[in-house]
Amino acid sequence: MAIGLNFRYAALGCCLLTSMAMGQDSLLDDAKSLFGPIPNVPVLDGNPATSAKVELGKMLFFELRLSESHNISCNTCHHIGLGGADGRPTSIGHNWQHGGRNAPTVLNSVFNIAQFWDGRAADLTEQAGGPIASPIEMGSTPEHAVEQLKGIPGYVEAFRKAFPDEIDPLDFVNLKKAIAVFEATLTTPDGPFDTYLKGDEKALTKEEKKGLRLFIDKGCSSCHNGINVGGGMYAAFGAVEKPGADFLPPDDEGRKRVTGQMDDQYVFKVPSLRNVELTAPYFHSGRAWDLDEAVAVMGTAQLGIRLAPEEVSSIVAFLRTLTGDQPQVTYPTLPPSVATTPRPTP
Amino acid sequence: MAIGLNFRYAALGCCLLTSMAMGQDSLLDDAKSLFGPIPNVPVLDGNPATSAKVELGKMLFFELRLSESHNISCNTCHHIGLGGADGRPTSIGHNWQHGGRNAPTVLNSVFNIAQFWDGRAADLTEQAGGPIASPIEMGSTPEHAVEQLKGIPGYVEAFRKAFPDEIDPLDFVNLKKAIAVFEATLTTPDGPFDTYLKGDEKALTKEEKKGLRLFIDKGCSSCHNGINVGGGMYAAFGAVEKPGADFLPPDDEGRKRVTGQMDDQYVFKVPSLRNVELTAPYFHSGRAWDLDEAVAVMGTAQLGIRLAPEEVSSIVAFLRTLTGDQPQVTYPTLPPSVATTPRPTP
């Protein structure tokens, strides 16, 4: 169900009220009530992180041999050095096939309500298996992925260490769990906005605060809120006014494909705006290259307002304060194949 | 010119003599006379390494936007986590085109006499530009690569820091120089064989020493010698007996394509055997998946001898001592694109 609009008006009303009652000084309080700084890495339900499991998950995240061609890893599309995305409209997968939607960032994805643009995976664990088994992404299958890793002695040992209580730990469930615990470490704390939310009012410039005020008062924060400044709900793209077919291709009906419900047509998970300056191009279609343009389109499509250029600039200045410390990842040394290891497709 | 054979017999005679005269105890001396431990990172001629230049080179090594599709980086084929290669027969490049030869490892490549299988690049600097501009690899051009980086403000700044004395430092020559200084840091010191060469005779097991003895006495070390246990000369593949067309496809004439000389037909640079257990499949054709098989083929093709299975096993045991400490690389955070940055091909 598309709950974006209802939420939007509720939040908008609330914010305007607060803002009117308390004046500009209340900006920090307003922000605190709507957003949260990036917390410590959360513990995943039923999947506690150990150093062995995180290390295994990191290996798997960079593991080309999980793809049928041995040419594509998680990091291919969720590139840790590029804000956790790949900077393309849609990603290139097996046999140079193109994905249907822009690769969402893996950074801070643990804080999202669900995974994929349409929320079809409940969490990171469920998500991790999707691209491996997608014919247009990594082109493998769960069975073959397990067979592949079982053919690499170093992985047999690494799964044993990561799941020490299990007799036969190298299976697809544990593969996904390990990737998920690693991905949960890929957070970007301590950006200027986090410092601000923690009470340091000097962490944002006057211009950035103006942008934050607009972001709240214009209604952006009715969908883009919470820890991830987004990622917490679903909304129809074009709730007020449909953008052009380049941004909203008519054949991708979004969450309707997941729920089968007509009112989920063109509904997508509201993306996180954390590190948004690093992850152009924007929208599920990946067709907006300019953050200013993306903000303006959101104004007309979601809020029915035409933001003035200087308003857009201020909002973008605020959005840049959402860039946090990028994860420091030491590249893993992957266990070598042996003569009997399953081989890639030509 | 194919100098492999002459070298081989000269070295073989010399080693047998030494071995006969001094017995098994002379193994370390023999080894010291033929090989060298991996030294400190060398200084490249006319290209001194500074931390700013190495850091820039690392960014460029992982930079997808150097490819036309923004989907392929140096690390795609020279994967730091997979022994500096990609574990495929030949690599997959632009538009899923397949390369002509197996991707050689980038690790320790600074110690090679020249770069590429046919030595057509004199050094790492010259090599670095090749794949970027190859239509079947990264699919870009020198001009576009520079235009691309000039469109990313963070690179303009990073080149300025790396080449502080230049007025307009962001050009293709400096791009290649920066990649080269980073690649020169990708060495793998302190493997068991290095420890042995430094005088610790306990660093190799009895079986590994037996393999080393065989490696020298059978003649392997006549081509595979020096710091890189290879990488220092050219030799005809099939000098004594041509292997099958699967290992030596007749249409790839090797170094003849570079020099135009008939006696360079099927001549290739002798590959380094450093970390060889990490870099299957083997040969320029990338068709030998089993290190034992590769050693046996070398015996018949290069030396005209049929190694007994237990001899092959001992030699492979020795070869595994060539695996050194893999480079510890912190994944670089790449500077973000902006609205005006050149975009990838669809």
Nearest CB to B339 within list A71, A82, A292: A292
DSSP-assigned letters across all residues of B174-226? HHHHHHHHHHHT------HHHHHHTT-GGGS-HHHHHHHHHHHHTTGGGTS-B
Q: Which residues of B touch A89 (CB under 8 A)?
A: 346
Where does the pLDDT of residue B42 fall: very low under 50, low under 70, confident under 90, or very high at 90 and above? confident
Confidence at residue B25, expressed as pLDDT on a 0 to 100 scale:
64
Pairing of strands A234-236, A267-269: antiparallel
Q: Do B328 and A331 touch (CB under 8 A)?
A: yes
In chain A, residues with a C-beta closer than 8 Å to the C-beta of B343 are 289
Choose among B69, B277, B327: nearest Cβ to A336. B277
The C-alpha of B23 sits at a distance from chain A's nearest C-alpha, in angstroms, of: 34
CA distances from B38 to A43, A67, B43, B328 (A): 43, 34, 14, 16
- Shortest CA distance from A58: residue in chain B: B81
Shortest distance between the Cα of A297 and any Cα of chain B, in A, equals 15
Q: How close does chain A come to B268, measured CA to CA in Å?
A: 23
Question: Encoding tokens for residue A312?
Answer: 């857009």
Of B334, B343, B344, the CB nearest to A81: B334
What angle in degrees, to the nearest 10, is found between the helix axes of A4-22 and A206-217? 130
CB contact under 8 A, B280 and A86: no
End-to-end CA distance of chain A: 44
On average, the pLDDT of chain B sits at 93
Contact A337 B98 (CB under 8 A): no
Mean pLDDT value across residues B219-233: 98
Instruction: Find the closest chain A residue to B81 by CA distance.
Output: A333
Which residues in chain A are closer than 8 Å to B64, comparing Cβ atoms?
79, 82, 86-87
Mean pLDDT is lowest, of A304-308, B37-41, B211-215, for B37-41
Residues of A in contact with B62 (CB under 8 A): 81
**Minimal Cα–Cα distance from B51 to chain A, Å?**
18
The Cα–Cα gap between B221 and B34 comes to: 7
Shortest CA distance from A69: residue in chain B: B88
Rounded CA gap, A7 and A4, in Å?
Answer: 5
Reported confidence tier of residue B267, pLDDT bands at 50, 70, 90: very high
| pLDDT of amino acid B258 | 97
* Spatial CA neighbour of B47 closest among B163, B176, B168, B177: B177
pLDDT at B143 over 70: yes
For the range B61-64, what are the long-range contacts, defined as Cβ-Cβ under 8 Å and sequence gap of 24 or more?
B61/B179, B61/B182, B61/B183, B62/A81, B62/B331, B62/B332, B62/B334, B63/B334, B64/A79, B64/A82, B64/A86, B64/A87
What digits encode the pLDDT tens for the residues A116-152?
999 999 999 999 999 999 999 999 999 999 999 999 9
Q: Which residues of B touch A292 (CB under 8 A)?
A: 339
Which listed residue (A55, A63, A68, A137) is catalytic?
Answer: A137
Confidence band for A69, pLDDT divided at 50, 70 and 90: very high
Give the pLDDT confidence score for residue B255 in this predicted structure. 98
From the list A81, A291, A344, the residue facing B332 with the nearest CB is A81
pLDDT (average), residues A328-341: 97
Phi first, then psi: give them for residue A8, nearest 5 degrees.
-60, -50
Query: Which pLDDT value is given to residue B16?
Result: 46
CA A146 to CA A167: how far, in whole Å?
15
Confidence grade of residue B91 (pLDDT, cut at 50, 70, 90): very high
The catalytic residues of B are 137
Would you give the DSSP letter of residue A302?
I
Would you say residue A329 has pLDDT above 50? yes
Per DSSP, the three-state class of B280 is coil
What is residue A21's predicted lDDT score, i.e. its pLDDT? 47
Tokens (6 digits) for B335 = 């500077």
When mean pLDDT is compared across A155-164, A227-236, B14-23, the lowest value belongs to: B14-23
Cα distances (Å, whole numbers) of residue B118 to A284, A306, B121, B237: 45, 61, 8, 12
Of A303, A298, A234, the closest CA to residue A271 belongs to A234
- Partners of residue A329 in chain B, C-beta under 8 Å: 330-331
Let me know the angle formed at the C-alpha of A16 by A10 and A22, rounded to the nearest 5 degrees.
135
| CA A186 to chain centroid | 11
* Cβ pair A332:B70 closer than 8 A: no
Distance of CA B129 to the CA centre of its chain: 16
Tally the C-alpha atoms within 13 A of residue A337's C-alpha that lie toward its C-beta: 26
- Tell me the shortest Cα–Cα distance from B49 to chain A, in angstroms: 21
Statement: residue A16 has pLDDT above 50: no
CA distance B285 to B256: 16
pLDDT of B7 > 50? The answer is: no
Nearest CA of chain A to the CA of B185: how many Å? 15
pLDDT value at B20 more than 90: no
Tell me the pLDDT band of B40, cut-offs 50, 70 and 90.
confident
DSSP codes, B69-128: TS---HHHHSBGGGTTB-SSSS-B-GGGPBPSSPPPP-TTGGGSSSBSTT--BSSHHHHH
- pLDDT above 90 (res A291): yes
Arithmetic mean of pLDDT, B122-131: 97
Select from A278, A289, A332 the Cβ nearest to the Cβ of B339.
Answer: A289
Q: Which residue of B has its CA nearest to A62?
A: B81
Chain A residues with CB inside 8 Å of B89's CB? 344, 346
B-chain residues within 8 Å CB-CB of A343? 281, 289
Residues of B in contact with A70 (CB under 8 A): 86-88
Hey, are the CB atoms on B336 and A81 less than 8 Å from each other?
A: no
Residue A65: which of B69, B87, B293 has the nearest Cβ?
B87
- The count of CB pairs under 8 A between chains A and B is 107
Candidates A95, A327, A333; nearest CB to B326:
A333
Interface test with chain B among A60, A98, A331, by most B beta carbons within 10 Å: A331
Burial of A156 (0-12, 13-18, 19+ CB in 10 A): middle
User: How large is the average pLDDT for residues B28-37?
Assistant: 98
pLDDT of residue B229: 98
Whether A277 is catalytic is no
Judging contacts by C-beta atoms under 8 Å, the chain B residues touching residue A344 are 87-89
Nearest to B148 by CA among B162, B135, B133: B133
Average pLDDT, chain A: 93
Longest dimension (CA), chain A: 72
B76:A79 CB<8 A: no
Q: Which of A92, A98, A290, A313 to mutate to test the interface with B (most CBs of B within 10 A)?
A: A92
Buried b (16+ CB within 10 A) or exposed e, A301-313: bbbeeebeeebbb
pLDDT of res. B5: 37
| Residue A235, H or E segment | strand A234-236
User: Can you tell me the mean pLDDT for A238-253?
Assistant: 96
> Which pLDDT score, from 0 to 100, does residue A25 have?
64
In this complex, the residue of A65, A88, A278 whose CB is nearest that of residue B336 is A278
- In this prediction the ipTM stands at 0.92
Q: Say what percent of chain A tops pLDDT 70.
A: 93
- Of the candidates B20, B24, B23, B27, the one whose C-alpha atom is nearest the C-alpha of residue B203 is B27
8 A C-beta contact, residue A179 and residue A57: yes
At A58, is the secondary structure helix, strand, or coil?
helix
Cα separation, B67 vs B62, whole angstroms: 11
Nearest CA in chain B to A60: B81
Q: Kindly determine whether residue B331 and residue A336, on different chains, have CB atoms separated by under 8 Å.
A: no
User: In the predicted model, what is the mean pLDDT of residues B9-29?
Assistant: 55
Rounded CA-CA distance A266/A242 in Å is 10
